[in-house]
Structure 1
């Protein structure tokens, strides 16, 4: 029995040696990440075309809301010898004048006017005046030139004709006496008042800014592209461009464009960057129909690490009896390179560090790491303890898993964006439609906190306003 004890000890010692040989602990120095600073990256502005169409009937409806009942009143006769009240008798109609080579709108205004006109003088403190009262009931036709200034549709209106529904009268001895042959020259007395009132009402009814700003605020509110990846699209407008307004048939057409920054962010819903006070409307002669959207897809290192950890799940690296399994992956930025930390178990236990440059494969839609190699300290430790792991063929096998496809993200992002181009209504009366071509990858930029993938999208966008609010 005592002779068996040394034998048992020898076997135990051999088992211990074998165990140590099969599983060695490696302790490597961690390449510390760069200091965490605010996320700053280069974003190429996007240009989005926003053609807006508004029907004349909407302008007509709003103008009638603004002009109702008594539309003008002047109760002071002393300043210009005229006292006047004008009522709108029926709804105003606004239509295209269809003139050759001109863009004018025609406004027909049914009205009633009571005008007091004072003739006379004041001499030596004695007033010698004769005041006449005119009762007018007719249909006024006005033509207006149209232009866009400082977000507003401005008109220059001219009274073209006045057709009397009833013969104009003058009150003489409490009786209404027809004075048709006298009143036409007197129309000049109040025509400027009518023209001005129409211009003011159309300008108020066609102030684009509240509608456009409200629509832009909705569009620029970050919206979720993917619930799975917690990705959000955020649009930050820089400038708004506009051509002059055009009248076609029964619709006003306004070509607008927006210069903006677009980005996708991972994680919780980001804050909006929309600020109505900084938006400026700049006039331009022409805006292209095709849009170009340059989107910065922000992928945090934490999120990328999760995806790569899934890629390594269940895989073994090595040969014969010398193998390792990757349990966890973490990546970060260091001196313009990506550091990839692999927590491994098996023949080697510990953390090995790789360094490389992220690249993108256009065909497979994958992010991979070029010139991937062990970090210097890791390589030295492996040469001493696990030369087999430091060899190139093992590294190449590991490199194959150090990649992840963003194709699902791109496709899901495309489908999410398309949903906002199919009669999407960010607010009542505003509808967005459009189409989008394939997403084109541009480049990758590294920051201290995330990898930024820049992509470009071409397409068209149309914004229609159906009923001004």
Structure 2
């Protein structure tokens, strides 16, 4: 009878224990869903790059122009009375032009006609004996021009010239007398060389019109370039300044590099709006023009798609902790919360201490800072923590969940891959540079995209936007001028 009584007592105790809240209880987390709100996006700091525009001119073009317009009689002095000498100078053959050692060298074959007058009077009462004779000879004048630029895009040349007599100097034979004419002719020729060099400077500056080439390139690079039809992707270049390297004259060419300081960006879903700026900035001469560019690329993951990925990564998973504590995630969602991401997790958790089991059900909300992980090419999160309302609820009803490693586990699980999307964009740009880089019949865009470097994360009202910079080089080749 006593044994029966004891068994009944145990049964009665267990029955009573099972209906007490302290033995087995469930807490519903009636947390308020935070409003989804993206903070005003920080101003996107574009990276300044340099687009190289190599330009070259063959000196044969300049030579042809000079020979077309620089010909015939160059100098004519028929007055014998002032110095007893008359001189005429013709261009005898083609002007030769050579580009070496960063200078342009000219050779000008000349034909000289000189007439000398001889007057002699034995005495005041004697008649004046007068005779004149003419002679002709050839020589080659030589000059060299140093090249530079002005800030208004004009070529500045400084030409100096000289000549040297050959083995035989010009003379006049007047009867038994031979009069050396070199000392009479040289001043006139040297004076004429000064005029010749001025003419050369004018011709060079008129023929080497670099401004028209730069103006053309300046306008053409501002036109957005379509790089992909599927995503309706475009490349946009916004030039801000122009630098030019010193002119180099070598191997029959005058060459230089123009560096356009530019912002380079990619856009999807349509041609970006633009307004071409026709005004060229002042030209800056710079011997150190970099050849690297940074192209602003962006990859987006909508919150709907991020939610889908989050569910795939977390829904149905059970996280176990020390003892018998565990939490199962039934559903998940993601939304913006200022400059952070808000993670909603619909959880079912329990903890047990002896005979006592405590359950929690409902939604918990965590905030996290998104970042782009360059190694994996994915958007991940850090500094995951409960929002204030969720933390207060947990501390009052399930402090064990607030204090365990649940937040760290969630942080390690979240991964939104962008690598393929960014790699596709990179390939699209490279393909455009390889195949579709002609922005004008005479202007070709060429280059190579190399590394991708993370920049920043922006939370828009509809998506997580990762901005990265693709490094490489781009040049504008003016190939049909």
Matched, 1:45 2:58: no
Shift of 1:69: 8.4
Query: Structure 1 residues 298 and 419 mapped into 2: Cα distance closer, same or farther (>3 Å)?
Result: closer
Shift of 1:462: 4.9
Tell me how far apart the structure 2 counterparts of residues 61 and 451 of structure 1 sit (CA, whole Å).
60
Alignment check: 8 A CA contact 1:304 1:331 kept:
no
- For 2:279, what is the secondary structure of its paired residue? helix
Partner of 1:308: 306
Partner of 1:359: 371
Query: Structure 1 residues 137 and 215 mapped into 2: Cα distance closer, same or farther (>3 Å)?
Result: farther
- For 1:238, what is the secondary structure of its paired residue? strand
Query: Following superposition of structure 1 onto structure 2, how do residues 225-264 of structure 1 map, counting pairs within 5 Å?
Result: 225-264=227-266
Would you say how many aligned residue pairs link Structure 1 and Structure 2? 387
- Per-residue Cα deviation, 1:18-61 (whole angstroms, up to 9, x for no partner): xxxxxx99884332425657x62333433x26262413247527
Tell me how far apart the structure 2 counterparts of residues 72 and 238 of structure 1 sit (CA, whole Å).
48
Tell me how far apart the structure 1 counterparts of residues 440 and 110 of structure 2 sit (CA, whole Å).
36
Partner of 2:323: none
Matched, 1:439 2:439: no
Partner of 1:426: 439
Tell me how far apart the structure 1 counterparts of residues 471 and 367 of structure 2 sit (CA, whole Å).
35
Identify unmatched segments of 5+ residues in structure 1.
1-23, 75-80, 114-134, 164-179, 345-349
- Per-residue Cα deviation, 1:280-332 (whole angstroms, up to 9, x for no partner): 322234334x52x34443456xx533542553577771369x87456xx6643
Query: Structure 1 residues 316 and 103 mapped into 2: Cα distance closer, same or farther (>3 Å)?
Result: closer
Query: Following superposition of structure 1 onto structure 2, how do residues 128-147 of structure 1 map, counting pairs within 5 Å?
Result: 142-147=143-148
* TM-score when normalising by structure 2: 0.59
Shift of 1:369: 1.9
Question: Paired residue for 2:34, among 22, 26, 30?
Answer: 30
Partner of 1:297: 297
- For 1:438, what is the secondary structure of its paired residue? strand
Tell me how far apart the structure 1 counterparts of residues 110 and 406 of structure 2 sit (CA, whole Å).
92
Alignment check: 8 A CA contact 1:152 1:208 kept:
yes
Query: Structure 1 residues 58 and 34 mapped into 2: Cα distance closer, same or farther (>3 Å)?
Result: farther
Tell me how far apart the structure 2 counterparts of residues 73 and 342 of structure 1 sit (CA, whole Å).
93
Query: Structure 1 residues 264 and 143 mapped into 2: Cα distance closer, same or farther (>3 Å)?
Result: same
Tell me how far apart the structure 1 counterparts of residues 411 and 226 of structure 2 sit (CA, whole Å).
33
* TM-score when normalising by structure 1: 0.61
Query: Following superposition of structure 1 onto structure 2, how do residues 42-441 of structure 1 map, counting pairs within 5 Å?
Result: 42-46=45-49, 48=50, 50=52, 52-57=54-59, 59-60=61-62, 63=65, 68=69, 94-96=97-99, 98=100, 102-107=101-106, 142-150=143-151, 151-160=153-162, 186-187=188-189, 191-272=193-274, 275-277=277-279, 279-288=281-290, 290-291=291-292, 293-299=293-299, 303-305=301-303, 307-309=305-307, 311=309, 317-318=315-316, 324=330, 331-334=335-338, 336-339=339-342, 354-373=366-385, 375-377=387-389, 402-419=414-431, 421-422=433-434, 424-441=437-454
Alignment check: 8 A CA contact 2:159 2:198 kept:
yes
Partner of 2:321: none
Tell me how far apart the structure 2 counterparts of residues 71 and 153 of structure 1 sit (CA, whole Å).
27
Tell me how far apart the structure 2 counterparts of residues 410 and 269 of structure 1 sit (CA, whole Å).
19
Query: Structure 1 residues 294 and 69 mapped into 2: Cα distance closer, same or farther (>3 Å)?
Result: closer
Query: Structure 1 residues 428 and 59 mapped into 2: Cα distance closer, same or farther (>3 Å)?
Result: farther
Tell me how far apart the structure 2 counterparts of residues 378 and 220 of structure 1 sit (CA, whole Å).
51
Alignment check: 8 A CA contact 1:146 1:153 kept:
yes
Query: Following superposition of structure 1 onto structure 2, how do residues 441-456 of structure 1 map, counting pairs within 5 Å?
Result: 441=454, 443-446=455-458, 453-456=466-469
Shift of 1:440: 2.7
Tell me how far apart the structure 1 counterparts of residues 375 and 279 of structure 2 sit (CA, whole Å).
44
Tell me how far apart the structure 1 counterparts of residues 203 and 345 of structure 2 sit (CA, whole Å).
70
Alignment check: 8 A CA contact 1:318 1:394 kept:
no
Identify unmatched segments of 5+ residues in structure 2.
1-27, 76-81, 83-88, 113-135, 166-180, 319-327, 348-361
- For 1:259, what is the secondary structure of its paired residue? strand
Alignment check: 8 A CA contact 1:358 1:444 kept:
no
Tell me how far apart the structure 2 counterparts of residues 256 and 250 of structure 1 sit (CA, whole Å).
20
CA RMSD of aligned residues (A): 5.5
Shift of 1:355: 2.4
- For 1:409, what is the secondary structure of its paired residue? helix
- Per-residue Cα deviation, 1:59-113 (whole angstroms, up to 9, x for no partner): 5278469x64899999xxxxxx9xxxx99999765322x4xxx532134568999
- Structure with larger Rg: 2
